[in-house]
Amino acid sequence: MPIARSAEDAQRQMDSGEVQDLIKSMAIPPRPLVVEQLQRELTKDDPDMRSAAKIVAQDVGLTVAVLKIVNSPMYGLSRRAESVDQAVGLIGLRQLTNLVTALSVRNLLKGDAQVMARFYDTSAKRAYAMSRMAKTTGLVDVGLAQTFGLFCDVGIPLLRNRFPNYVETLKLANTDPQRSFTAVEQAAHNTDHALVGAMMAKSWSLPDTVTLAIRLHHDYEVFLDPKIPRDVSRLIALGLVAEVAIQRFARLHSTVEWDKGGDFVAGALVLAPLEVEEWIEQLIEEFATGME
């Protein structure tokens, strides 16, 4: 399958019968009822925040997770939220819905416990980093940044479960200095984690901006395409900053994705190169202190 290099390419792929047939074999988890209910409330002419809070509060584990993140520095609230009612009043229904949607993924993906623990740790760091940058710079909605950060690599565990040799593909994709990550996956499996992740995002009715950013987040030609929505390119750029900060924090010297796309980041985020490096260093420091 050809690599998507534009918004039009991405949409055509996601709508194609070939992709639809492939996705049916991937065991993509269905959208949870709590997500569906929140999304339905959000689309009403007069959304009821108390009704939304009650939907979330029915799940104790989800409530704890929501409050932990809402009270973290990524939101920078002036006061602490002690209940979901207070949380939705402070961050708004749209951001609550984005947050719950992203958190729901954790309860549904299956795989080796140790592998999944690393996956969730990386996802949490990415979401934290992107939310912090979005909140401080105002370049993109915090909820969108957080959802993309938690969701963008969701296709990886799905591909691990689908293809027995995907681990070898993953190692090659992480080290190939020339081909894009998704090109390596396509060559081996005729699909890639960005496409699978985008299809899951679409099936869960995530915002179109997030879905498109997931699909294109390894295809850095998008930074040169004036037709790509600004928020999409900014999400991808913020994701690159978060990723290199995570790698450096883990003392990994291989930064292949940064080598491929890092030169575009400053322009996409309207920042000086020095400011980008300062963000990377700041995020590394915050990872070290437990993102508190």
Q: What is the mean pLDDT of each run of 10 residues along the chain (292 residues)?
A: 66 70 77 93 92 93 91 81 93 88 83 88 91 93 89 94 94 94 94 92 90 94 92 97 95 84 96 96 91 61
CATH number of the domain residue 170 falls in: 1.10.3210.10
pLDDT at 267: 96
H runs (alpha helix) in the chain: 7-15, 17-24, 33-42, 49-57, 60-70, 84-91, 93-106, 113-137, 142-151, 155-162, 166-175, 181-189, 193-203, 208-216, 230-249, 256-261, 265-269, 273-288
pLDDT at 192: 93
CA–CA gap between residue 85 and residue 139 (Å, rounded)? 27
46 and 183 inside one domain: no
pLDDT at 263: 95
C-alpha distances in Å from residue 27, one per residue of 1, 30, 108, 145, 149: 20, 9, 11, 26, 22
Residue where one domain finishes, among candidates 53, 74, 108 = 108
pLDDT at 253: 67
pLDDT at 12: 74
Which residue range is the domain that position 87 belongs to? Answer: 30-108
137 and 281 inside one domain: yes
- In a domain, residue 130? The reply is yes
94 and 224 inside one domain: no
130 and 103 inside one domain: no
Structure tokens at 242: 């978060």
221 and 78 inside one domain: no
**Burial level of 221, CB count in 10 A (0-12/13-18/19+)?**
middle
pLDDT at 255: 81
